[in-house]
Amino acid sequence: MKARLDSYTDYRQIDGLVKRLTIYRDYKRNMVTEVRYLFDHRKDNLRLRRRFPFEYRTVEYFNKSSKPFQTQTYWPHWKEIEEVDRQKRIIKFYPLRHDDGLIERIDIVNSKIIEKFHNRDDNLLYRSVKFEKTCVQNSYDQHEFKYLFDTFSQDPKVYIVKMSLKYACNKYEPPNEQIQRMIIDLPMNKIEIFYHMNEGDIAPIHCVYPRDLVSGFGAPSENQEKKDVNPEELLKHQKIHSKEKECVTMIKNAEIKNNNEISNVRGAIEKEIETCK
């Protein structure tokens, strides 16, 4: 009584639509609560699209790809995409991305990016980046570390203020020598590291480093001589600093790759639909 179903024959609609179910809030069918679109024979494997007009939210579900796509370089292996207009986008992937192992990406516009991984060689499980529109004047004021281009915003520049990484434990190496979690706080100018625990440990090893010192920008004290510098400590600082630079590079590359996937796969299909019209 509060719904309407429209059915179409295969290949009748140029966008692959076969059924459309409109769900209303009232019996007079004036207020639309949800619209469900069922598709078939689409190149991007889109199966179902759910639109919630009053929530400005759209959820799309995709079938698993059974054969290679022509543009395999940009084939994203999407599983589900949920998008709230100009606020948030959540993309879930099938575990078939052998190049980066990404299984979920959450974009909160101008605020945060969260990425979850599976079965990576470097044991990375989780990566999050927090942004702010204004730059905090601090010692981290370096161009390669303070900005990221955001496709949702008219102002494409936002500044990285915090990064967090989580790693799985490699069973073939001592756990207490492997990083479990690494937090890079740029405004506070510090790097926190938690290590995995050995069997029987009560609490993990927790270390806090000044970022200037780890990055090599902190000047040694006047009473400190070069011979007093511990080579093992310097090597540890270099390793931590390399992880920070690698994190920033991966963030930018992931942003570019995500934009390419959306523009090359979805953009090409939408352009083809408009051409057929």
**Percent of the chain at pLDDT above 70?**
79
Mean pLDDT (the chain) is: 82
Does residue 95 form part of some domain? yes
> What angle is formed at CA 98 by the lines to CA 144 and CA 44, rounded to 5 degrees?
95
The structure's pTM equals: 0.84
In this prediction, residue 224 carries a pLDDT of 47
- Structural domain includes residue 246: yes
pLDDT single digits (tens) 206-231 = 999 888 877 765 445 444 445 456 77
Q: What is the pLDDT of residues 66-103, one digit of tens each?
A: 655 444 445 788 999 999 998 999 999 998 888 889 99
Q: Which residue has the higher pLDDT, 233 or 16?
A: 16
Position 10 in a domain: no
- Residue 206 included in any domain: yes
Q: Which residue has the higher pLDDT, 103 or 143?
A: 103
pLDDT at 195 over 90: yes
What radius of gyration do the chain's Cα atoms show?
24
Inside any domain, residue 125:
yes
* pLDDT at residue 222 in the model: 46
In a domain, 112, yes or no: yes
Tally of domains within the chain? 1
Would you say residue 139 lies in a domain? yes
- Which pLDDT tens digit goes with each residue over 19-72? 999 999 998 889 999 999 999 988 888 999 999 999 999 999 999 876 554 444
Domain that holds residue 89: 85-276
pLDDT at res. 11? 87
**Is 109:87 a contact under the CB 8 Å cutoff?**
yes
Q: Is residue 107 part of a domain?
A: yes
Q: 131: closest CA among 251, 253, 254?
A: 251
Handedness of CA 127, 64, 260, 48 (dihedral sign): negative
